[in-house]
Amino acid sequence: MRHILIAGDGPVARALANALAAAGEVTSRWRRGDPRPTAAAEIAIVAVRDAAISAVATQLMALGAVERRSILLHCAGVLPPEEAFRGLPVAGIGLLHPLRALVGDPDEAHLAGTVFGVAGDALGVKTATELVEGLGGRPLPLGREALARYHAAAALASNHPLALVDQAVDLLVELGLDRATATSSLAELVASMAHNLIAQGLPRALTGPIARGDVATIARHWAALPEETRPLYRATARATVALARKKGAAEGATLDAIAALLEGD
């Protein structure tokens, strides 16, 4: 059976190691400072910070954990494999990026149904695709020019909403809630939104005053918001108006009125 080496000790490395082992693959882990691996791996997955990928891959070759017959994969969704592994004499190179927000919880080993961005040369893509399918995931082949847009989509959906929640927490704290309670209560709200998104899809999952075309409520929001929060509210509300038009539950005239309310500095 082939041997898969996972280099790294972060959430992605742990999730992939556990998921691949559960899928029946022969895996081992390596972290900087560990002893020299006893044998070279057929597949090495470098799951470390983007800036460290090249150095770790080079170190693995120097240690004999990767050799000419090996296939090198990394997990940085925006970084072309040919840049990360430039000059390394291996059989194939590729990218294997789970479209998941991983933080290190044990249940993150269940990656069935997860979309994975895959890229690289022919052998790298073939290998990454096989691994994804073995995990019950869905491979998304990406050309070099598509990686940045793919990763931007992932960040827009999984990272940027947390900044919105942080702003909302501040507003609730100003009203008297302690930060922990404000955070947990909004987390429940976000979880219910995510449930609706899974169950209903877009645009049906959209709720709230913009979806209803409630101009008066948006005006009250605007009047109540601190000056420093208004640009963020305006930018996200404008995008929400566009989504509400797709949903079609509100009259076009009311959405036009909301859009007009959000114009200006």
The CATH number for 94's domain is 3.40.50.720
Residues 83 and 206 in one domain: no
Whole-angstrom Cα Rg for the chain:
23
**Spatial strand order in the sheet of 26-30:** 26-30, 3-7, 43-46, 71-74, 92-98, 115-120, 138-141
Give the three-state DSSP class for 67: coil
The Cα-based distances of 110 to 21, 136, 169, 173, 209 in angstroms read: 11, 9, 31, 36, 36
Q: Which domain holds residue 72?
A: 3-144
Q: Name the region of 136 (left: φ>0; alpha: ψ -120 to 50; beta: rest).
A: left
Q: Which of 144, 177, 195 corresponds to the end of one domain?
A: 144
Q: What total number of domains does the chain contain?
A: 2
Residues 82 and 38 in one domain: yes
DSSP per-residue string spanning 169-183: HHHHHHTT--HHHHH
Q: For residue 224, is it within any domain?
A: yes
Give the pLDDT confidence score for residue 30 in this predicted structure: 93
Residues 8 and 135 in one domain: yes
Which contiguous run of DSSP H or E holds residue 27? strand 26-30
- pLDDT digit of tens for each residue in the chain (265 aa)? 689 999 999 999 999 999 999 999 999 999 988 888 878 999 999 999 999 999 999 999 999 999 999 999 999 999 999 999 999 999 999 999 999 999 877 777 789 999 999 999 999 999 999 999 999 999 999 999 999 999 999 999 999 999 999 999 999 999 999 999 999 999 999 999 999 999 999 999 999 999 999 999 999 999 999 999 999 999 999 999 999 999 999 999 999 999 999 986 5
Q: For residue 152, is it within any domain?
A: no
Confidence (pTM) = 0.90
